[in-house]
Amino acid sequence: MSVVQRITQLRAELERHNQAYYVLDAPRIPDAEYDKLFRELQTLEAQHPQLITPDSPTQRIAGKVLDGFAPVQHAVPMLSIHTETDTESSGAANFDARVKNALDVQGGEIEYNCELKFDGLAINLRYERGILVQAATRGDGETGEDVTQNIRTIKSIPLRLQNCDVDVLEVRGEAYMARKDFNQYNDRQRALGLPTLVNPRNAAAGTIRQLDPALSAKRPLSFFAYGLGEVKGWTLPVTHSALLDALQLFGLPVCQVREVVQGAASLADFHQRVAAMRDELPFDIDGVVYKVNSRAMQLDLGFVSREPRWAVAHKFPAEEQLTTVRDIEIQVGRTGKLTPVAKLEPVFVGGTTVSNATLHNEGEIRRKDVHVGDTVIVRRAGDVIPEVVGVLPERRPANARAFVMPATCPVCGSHVVRAEDEADARCSGGLFCAAQRKQAILHFAGRRAMDIEGLGDKLVEQLVDENLIHSLPDLYRLDRTTLAALERMADKSAHNIVAALEKSKRPTLARFIFALGIRNVGETTAKDLARFFGSLSNVQAADTAALQQVPDVGPIVAQSVFDFFRETHNVEVIADLLGSCGLVVQESAGSSAQVLPLTGKTYVLTGTLPNMSRDEAKSRLEALGAKVAGSVSKKTDCVVAGAEAGSKLDKARELNVRVWDEAVLLQHLNEWERSVFKGEYEN
Ligand code: IVH
């Protein structure tokens, strides 16, 4: 094979993998394999620079630092769309009425394509004979900026279209930053003490208008196509929905949340359903867009004042609002962490009234320069807790007050400590601190821990404040009369709580370990510890080396567990719970550890199994003592693969891990379950 042929082959293959990974979200080869192909191409191109073309995957991050962006005249202007912020049904109904009126439609319903309104930056991609030749921002609609270099770093944007050699095809869409990428970037920046990005929308805009493409490449963006600009040499599909299908076939990313519907009522219905799932989407949206589906009708409808009459944006409540900071208070968490919380002038944002927003830690307050009295931007997106994302310094009043982290805990007066390499300040009071005690009790009683129904924050607050509970064992000494004497507590509820306490006295080992609230020990680690050690005394006795034998337990977790059981107070609490309180930890289920057929084995499930749900497979494996992990490693004993299994299956093959299909799994499950049932593995 000639060098030219090999280069062409490598480029095609790499772009196919890019597409699989970034557009279809289903990687087909392991990263290492991709890197190998990429390096081979880089080497060949270095040896034959005359063969480098702009559509080569190596050219995505090859740009130079720019002085500025060249202007780009849009062949077809980039318009904006009319926005309806009205209540749910009337926004859709108004639009539908305008369309019907303009088209003079009497009976019957209009067909619409419903889409999401992505919250990013509008981009025009220009493909000539299938090759990406230019990318531009919207600018004023007539003239935008040439941002080709930065757009090339967006891996989901094909540099060459598939099955498309149309003379000119301008594709319009939105560049955005996914929430996961936004959070990851900010977490990393925060850990390094560097400035964070304000919101995904600004992040996208800032990244695209970045002069150094190497910096752009560090901030991963994504793209969704939603329309066209100039087109030459292509007969357009007759509907907008068919156009999106066609763009998808060219390899462009098109959002799968889209629907063809008839009439105004269905538009309102779409709006409502999308509003309900807004929090779960992996990216920010600020509304939905309705478009008349028929292109012929679109042409008929035309434009008014630079807005198409055939499309409308129907917005959702904003996820960011301005408000003022009344005060900054300190909240003390279960592990003593002190979190500064902004007390806000209540404001309606992201669908609820917000009056508190986290400021994370002292460093974050310094970086954002938040003062009491400031006007701030509050953000509540997804189900994330509300956050202060920035300050409007020009609105700072003269009497604004800077924040000072107190030297002593505002709840218990113990001194506040902050390790040199840690961002968080902590109260050193431990369970002497009422705030930590309240949180520890709430955690202990929680649904995933001891599951003591009815023991909520209001009640715990009262119990601690009235000195009825000093530590966990006191819970089990509460009686009905004491409880019933509390404010807002009826005799019946008092009875229920005593019953719930009684019912909680036989926890599994895993729940009990989790309930203790050991730092760095979440539910999964608690399960792992229980499974590995089988009994509480074994966990208590383990040294850090033994603890690190547990799969997924590293030095930090091992140290936390070890330290916890060396603390006299903790040992006393446990002895008291198991002694005078009468708790009996169900060790036989836990010490399944030594006795169940899959004890110590790690399974990974991937793809869709033909008959069994993933949850079912998982719980049956776990009931047999296996650990079901999310990723494949050398420690994995077996991978169970169903249809469309992706990178995990590849990884399993690469590491020579055993792979089963559902039939084989079922055969084994049945056998093991029978043997356990017969008591073969029981004590
Ligand atoms: S269509 C002629 N569809 O919203 C119609 N726009 O004012 C052109 N946007 O900044 C726009 N999602 O970037 C359309 N599914 C979608 C959209 C969308 C977001 C943005 C667009 C522009 C603004 C429209």
CB atoms within 10 A of CB 559: 15
Q: Which of 48-52, 197-201, 230-234, 656-660 is modeled with the greatest confidence?
A: 230-234
**CA gap 558, 544 in Å, rounded:** 5
Do both 517 and 490 map to the same domain?
no
pLDDT computed for residue 538 by the predictor: 92
Do both 173 and 303 map to the same domain?
yes
Q: Which of 84-88, 100-104, 274-278 is modeled with the greatest confidence?
A: 100-104
Do both 517 and 564 map to the same domain?
yes
- Tokens representing 131 are 């090759």
Do both 494 and 517 map to the same domain?
no
pLDDT computed for residue 300 by the predictor: 95
Protein residue whose Cα sits closest to atom 14 of ligand 1:
226
Is residue 413 one of the residues assigned to a domain?
no
What residues have CB less than 8 Å from 590, skipping those under 6 apart? 508, 509, 510, 530, 531, 533, 534, 535
Protein residue whose Cα sits closest to atom 9 of ligand 1:
117
Choose the weakest-confidence range: 27-31, 51-55, 369-373, 537-541.
27-31
pLDDT computed for residue 482 by the predictor: 94
pLDDT band at 86 (very low <50, low <70, confident <90, very high): low
The 10s digit of each residue's pLDDT in 325-351 is 999 999 999 889 999 999 999 998 887
Q: Tell me if 286 CB under 6 Å of ligand 1.
A: no
Do both 196 and 253 map to the same domain?
yes
Ligand 1 atom at minimal distance to the Cα of residue 121? 13
- Closest to 365 in 3D by CA, of 334, 387, 332, 336: 387
pLDDT computed for residue 323 by the predictor: 93
Q: Which of 36, 64, 100, 117 is catalytic?
A: 117
Taking the centre of ligand 1 as the mean of its atom positions, its distance from the CA of residue 289, in whole angstroms, is 8
Ligand 1 atom at minimal distance to the Cα of residue 83? 7
Do both 150 and 240 map to the same domain?
yes
Mutate to test the pocket of ligand 1, among 84, 247, 289, 301 (most ligand atoms within 8 A of CB): 289
pLDDT computed for residue 197 by the predictor: 85
- Residue 681 predicted with pLDDT over 60: no
Is residue 628 one of the residues assigned to a domain?
yes
Which of 459, 479, 503 is the endpoint of a domain?
503
Cβ-count burial 378-409 (b if 16+ within 10 Å, e if not): bbbbeeeebbbbbbeeeeeeeebeebeeeeeb
Interior angle at CA 16, CA 14 and CA 22, nearest 5? 95
Ligand 1 atom at minimal distance to the Cα of residue 115? 15
Q: Tell me if 79 CB under 6 Å of ligand 1.
A: yes
Protein residue whose Cα sits closest to atom 24 of ligand 1:
80
Percent of the chain at pLDDT exceeding 90: 62
Q: Any idea what the CATH number is for the domain that residue 205 is in?
A: 3.30.470.30
**CA gap 513, 444 in Å, rounded:** 10
Average pLDDT over residues 423-448: 92
Q: Tell me if 291 CB under 6 Å of ligand 1.
A: no
Average pLDDT over residues 268-285: 92
Type of residue numbered 418:
R
pLDDT band at 683 (very low <50, low <70, confident <90, very high): very low
Is residue 417 one of the residues assigned to a domain?
no
Interior angle at CA 120, CA 115 and CA 125, nearest 5? 85
Is residue 276 one of the residues assigned to a domain?
yes
Is residue 347 one of the residues assigned to a domain?
yes
Report CA 645 to chain centroid distance, whole Å. Answer: 22
Cβ-count burial 69-90 (b if 16+ within 10 Å, e if not): beebebeeebbeebbbeeeeee
Taking the centre of ligand 1 as the mean of its atom positions, its distance from the CA of residue 117, in whole angstroms, is 6
Taking the centre of ligand 1 as the mean of its atom positions, its distance from the CA of residue 80, in whole angstroms, is 6
pLDDT band at 83 (very low <50, low <70, confident <90, very high): confident
- Residue 424 predicted with pLDDT over 50: yes
Question: Torsion over CA of 599, 601, 606 and 608, rounded to 10 degrees?
Answer: -40
- Distances, alpha carbon 216 to alpha carbons 145, 203, 225, 350, in Å: 16, 10, 20, 29
Query: How many folded domains does the chain comprise?
Result: 6
Ligand 1 atom at minimal distance to the Cα of residue 138? 10
Which of 315, 344, 361 is the endpoint of a domain?
315
Determine the structural domain holding residue 118 and report its residue range. Answer: 71-315
Taking the centre of ligand 1 as the mean of its atom positions, its distance from the CA of residue 267, in whole angstroms, is 17
Active site residue 218: no
For 432-477, give the secondary structure using H, E and C.
HCHHHHHHHHHHHHCCCCCCCCCCCHHHHHHHHHCCCCCCHHHHCC
Average pLDDT over residues 177-187: 90
Q: Tell me if 117 CB under 6 Å of ligand 1.
A: yes
238 against 597, higher pLDDT: 238
pLDDT computed for residue 210 by the predictor: 85
633 against 681, higher pLDDT: 633
Do both 237 and 165 map to the same domain?
yes
Protein residue whose Cα sits closest to atom 23 of ligand 1:
80
Indicate the DSSP class of residue 584: -
**CA gap 424, 421 in Å, rounded:** 9
Average pLDDT over residues 82-91: 76
Do both 95 and 218 map to the same domain?
yes
- Residue 592 predicted with pLDDT over 60: no
The 10s digit of each residue's pLDDT in 283-301 is 999 999 999 999 999 999 9
pLDDT band at 432 (very low <50, low <70, confident <90, very high): confident
Do both 29 and 55 map to the same domain?
yes
Is residue 411 one of the residues assigned to a domain?
no
Do both 195 and 255 map to the same domain?
yes
pLDDT band at 92 (very low <50, low <70, confident <90, very high): very high
Is residue 573 one of the residues assigned to a domain?
yes
Q: Do residues 555 and 548 make contact, with C-beta atoms less than 8 angstroms apart?
A: yes
Do both 133 and 184 map to the same domain?
yes
- Closest to 151 in 3D by CA, of 122, 129, 128, 179: 122
Which of 466, 488, 503 is the endpoint of a domain?
503
pLDDT, mean over the chain: 90
Average pLDDT over residues 47-74: 83
- Closest to 373 in 3D by CA, of 321, 341, 328: 328
The 10s digit of each residue's pLDDT in 477-523 is 999 999 999 988 899 999 999 999 999 999 999 999 999 999 899 99
Q: Any idea what the CATH number is for the domain that residue 382 is in?
A: 2.40.50.140
Q: Any idea what the CATH number is for the domain that residue 35 is in?
A: 1.10.287.610
Is residue 197 one of the residues assigned to a domain?
yes
Do both 528 and 612 map to the same domain?
no
Q: Any idea what the CATH number is for the domain that residue 461 is in?
A: 1.10.150.20
User: 292 pairs with which residues across the strands?
Assistant: 112
- Closest to 331 in 3D by CA, of 399, 409, 400: 409
